[in-house]
Amino acid sequence: MLELIENYDDRRVIIRQYTSASSLYDILNQALQSTEALDGSDVLLKHCDEKTILICGGPLKNVAKAIQTGQFKLGRLVAQGGFAGDNIVPEEKRLSKFNGRITCPTFNLGADLKAAKIVLDYNGIKEKFFVSKNVCHGVVYNKDVHQQLEKIKDKSQSLQEIYHVMSIYLNRPGKNKKALHDPLTACCAIDLSIGQWKDVQLDMDEKTKEWGSIISENPNIKIIVDYDH
């Protein structure tokens, strides 16, 4: 279990792997649990419109809930999840761990199948880009990246914090790299040219509950097949 609590100026940085909210509160003796919070779908309805770019790094529950009001509009959704297999990804761009696969489990879609299907079928989102594991698993923070970051870490406080946290992570037994699923998704949201994309229909195999992509006359998303190294 990774746990780090440190002070930076007047801010408190807390990083921990935990399985529930209660376990997080256990390490914050001074923290009080609060049930006062805005519903995620209400936040989306209030702040999103046809010019908004929304990044999703988890199951699409709140997006689906907002859609079900009939009032949700969005310019672009950039979501982490999905899968593009051998039928979509050129051989030279495939990761060996996924070679030979057409479908694959994907947590962010599989965790709430109904929500995923609502989002995929919704026409009120102008563009949908999915940054899928067939590429994410090839974008890693490892010791080589760590050494490169060491050279520039003093240029900003954020770089110092990243370097410090990843130093702890990489020193853990068996932890020699970390796949950057959500950071890659965020980067693609900022600049789509980072990724190479294909128009596909993202669909789930009803028997296996695994997800895959197919070329279709009616594509519902663009899925990533490679990235700018």
Q: Is residue 13 domain-shared with residue 69, that is, in the same domain?
A: no
- Let me know if residue 4 belongs to a domain: yes
From first to last of its 229 residues, the chain has per-residue pLDDT tens of 333 444 434 444 444 444 445 555 555 555 555 667 889 999 999 999 999 999 999 999 999 999 999 999 999 999 999 999 999 999 999 999 999 999 999 999 999 999 999 999 999 999 999 999 999 999 999 999 999 999 999 999 999 999 999 999 999 999 999 999 999 999 999 999 999 999 999 999 999 999 999 998 889 899 999 998 7
Report the C-alpha gap between 117 and 179 in whole angstroms.
Answer: 26
- Give the sign of the dihedral formed by CA 92, CA 95, CA 96, CA 102: negative
| Residue 12: domain span | 1-37
Q: List the one residue out of 185, 202, 218 whose CA is nearest residue 102.
A: 202
Q: Is residue 47 domain-shared with residue 129, that is, in the same domain?
A: yes
Report the C-alpha gap between 118 and 103 in whole angstroms.
Answer: 20
- Let me know if residue 85 belongs to a domain: yes
Secondary structure element (H or E) that encloses residue 188, with its range: helix 181-190
- Tokens representing 184 are 């890659």
- Let me know if residue 149 belongs to a domain: no
Q: How many domains does the chain have?
A: 2
Report the C-alpha gap between 103 and 110 in whole angstroms.
Answer: 12
Q: Is residue 21 domain-shared with residue 46, that is, in the same domain?
A: no
Q: Is residue 31 domain-shared with residue 48, that is, in the same domain?
A: no
Q: Is residue 97 domain-shared with residue 119, that is, in the same domain?
A: yes
- Tokens representing 186 are 């965020």
Q: Is residue 3 domain-shared with residue 52, that is, in the same domain?
A: no
Confidence (pLDDT) at 40: 94
- Let me know if residue 18 belongs to a domain: yes
Torsion of the alpha carbons at 198, 203, 208 and 210, rounded to the nearest 10: 40
- Let me know if residue 99 belongs to a domain: yes
- Let me know if residue 172 belongs to a domain: no
